[in-house]
Amino acid sequence: MEDTIAAIATAPGEGGIGIIRISGEHAYNILRRVFRPAHPESLENRKMSYGHILNPQTNSIIDEVLCVYMKGPKTYTTEDVVEINCHGGMVPLRKTLELVLQSGARMAEPGEFTKRAFLNGRLDLSQAEAVIDVIRAKTDKTFDVAMNQLEGVFSGTIKEIRKKLVDILVNVTVNIDYPDEDIEEITYEKLEKDLIEVKFEVNRLLASAETGRMIKDGLAVAIIGKPNVGKSSLMNSLLRESRAIVTEIPGTTRDTIEEYLSVKGIPVRLTDTAGIRETSDIIEQIGIEKSKESFNQADLVIFILDCSKDFSAEDREIMEQIDEKKTIVVLNKIDLPAKIDESAVRDILPNAYVMKTSMETQEGIGDIEEKIVSMVYDGKVSQNNSLIVTNVRHKDILVKAEKSLGDAINMTQMGEALEFIEIDINSAYASLGEIIGETVQDDIINEVFSRFCLGK
C-alpha cells in the first residue's frame, strides 16, 4: 500500500460541493503541489483551509476550494488523508482530480479506501461490509442495523463466540498433548455442555437471518384475490396515494403493479395483481398468470375476500394454491352485512392470519401494517434487536460453523477420540474467523470490496 490513491468521493452529478479524497504517504505533498492556500500558514492538521486549486504548469486557477489535511493514523484509512471540497459540478471535480493524479496519486479502485481501513486494522471485514449497507440503506431500520454492524456490535459477538471456542480448544489440546501431566482432565460431559452453549449462540444468530434478509432486501408482498374485492384500494391505502385504478368494472387491473414503501422501517415491495377468475379475454389471462407467478415468489401473500358475498369456487381454488405461503387473509367490506366469517377461512387456511377491513372507511388498514411487521420478525427476533444477520456471506459461514459444532457434539456424545473432536472445533473457529476477516482468503476480500463505489 505504498501508492497514494485518489478518487471523487461524492455521487456523480451537480451539487453544492464535490469532494476529492486522497489517501497515502504522499497525500500532503500532492496537496501542496496543487493547492494555494489564502494564508500559507493555514494548512494545518485537521483544520479547514480556504484557497485555490492551481495548475502547476500554467499557474491558472482551476477552482476555489476548501481543503483539510488529516495526518494518520487517526483517519478513515489510518493513512495521511486529504479531502478537497470543490464546487459540485463534474468539470471542476474532473479537472482537480486530473491534477492530483498528475502530481503523483493513482486512481483508487472501487472500495479501496475502505479496503485500506480493513488491511490497516481500523475495521474488521464485517464492519467494512456494513459501510456499503449504510450507503445503500433505504429505510430507518435498514440503516440502524447497518450502523450497529459498522460500530462492531455483530463482530463483537463473533469475537466472543470465538473466545469461548479458544477456551474449549485449549482444554482439549492440553489433554491431547499432555495426557500424563498433572492437569485437570476434561470430561466428555463438560465438553458437550460447553459446545452446546456455543452452538446455541450460533443458532441464535442464524435465527435472525431470514428477518435480516427482508430488512435489507425488502419484503415481497403480493395482494391477490378475485376482481373487485378491494386489491387496488388496499394498495392505494398502504401507499397513501392513488397509484392503482379503482373502478366498479371487474378486470380493471390487467397487469401487475409494483411499488416500494416503508412499513415501520421495513422496506416492502408491494405488488397489486390482476383479479384471478375464469375469463376468455387473452390479455386478462396473461395478467392472471402473472398474478400467480407473483404470489408464488412472494414472501407474504395478502389474500382479499369480499365478505359481503359467499365463498366461490374461485376463492377456494386460490386458497388451496396459497396454503403453504405466509398469508394474511383480509375480510374486506365489513361495513356491509357479512356472509363469510373467520371460522370458514380457518377451515381452509388454518395457519393464516385473518383480519377485517373496510376500504370504504379505512378501518383495519393500520392493523394490516402492524401484522406485516410482526410477520417479518416472526417471533424469532425482537423488533428492538440490533443484532440481526443481514449478509448472505455471514449466514453461509454461520451455517458452516453450526454444522462443525454439531459434528463435534455428536462425536463427544459417542465418546470419540479428542483428536477428532478437535478438528471440528478448529473448523468452527476458522469459519467464524472468515466473518471478521481473520481467516479469509484474498479472493473473498477482493470480491467484498469490488462491490463498493469509487471514493469509498
Q: Is 216 annotated as a binding residue?
A: no
| Owner of C-alpha cell 486529504 | 82
Q: Is 247 annotated as a binding residue?
A: yes
Closest CA to 198 of 438, 419, 398: 398
Chain-centre distance of CA 272, in angstroms? 25
Closest CA to 284 of 253, 247, 315, 245: 253
Q: Is 231 annotated as a binding residue?
A: yes
Q: Is 232 annotated as a binding residue?
A: yes
Q: Is 346 annotated as a binding residue?
A: no
Q: Is 251 annotated as a binding residue?
A: yes
Q: Is 114 annotated as a binding residue?
A: no
Q: Is 415 annotated as a binding residue?
A: no
| Owner of C-alpha cell 460453523 | 401
Q: Is 249 annotated as a binding residue?
A: yes
Q: What are 357's three cell numbers? A: 377491513
Q: Is 302 annotated as a binding residue?
A: no
Kindly state the DSSP code that residue 176 receives in the 8-state scheme. H
Closest CA to 152 of 132, 133, 129, 126: 126
**Alpha carbon distance 305, 32 (integer Å):** 71
Q: What are 441's three cell numbers? A: 482468503
How many CA atoms does the CB half-sphere of 13 hold within 13 Å?
2
Question: Exposed/middle/buried for 89, CB within 10 Å: 0-12, 13-18, 19+?
Answer: middle
Instruction: Report how far apart, in Å, the C-alpha atoms of 101 and of each of 8, 88, 96, 111, 121 are.
Output: 12, 19, 9, 18, 27
Q: Is 198 annotated as a binding residue?
A: no
Q: Is 326 annotated as a binding residue?
A: no
For residue 252, the SS3 value is coil
Q: Is 357 annotated as a binding residue?
A: no
**Alpha carbon distance 400, 427 (integer Å):** 9
Taking the CA atoms of the chain, what radius of gyration do you get in angstroms? 29
**Alpha carbon distance 354, 343 (integer Å):** 10
Q: Is 83 annotated as a binding residue?
A: yes
Per-position DSSP letters for 24-40, written without gaps between them: STTHHHHHHHHEEESSG
Q: Is 324 annotated as a binding residue?
A: no
Q: Is 138 annotated as a binding residue?
A: no
Closest CA to 389 of 44, 76, 55, 145: 145
Q: Is 233 annotated as a binding residue?
A: yes
Residues at the binding site for Mg(2+) are 232, 253
Q: Which residues are annotated as a binding site for GTP?
A: 228-233, 247-253, 272-275
Annotated binding site: 21, 83, 122, 228-233, 247-253, 272-275, 456
Could you list the residues known to form a binding site for (6S)-5-formyl-5,6,7,8-tetrahydrofolate, using ranges. Answer: 21, 83, 122, 456
Residue positions forming the annotated binding site for K(+): 228, 247, 249, 252
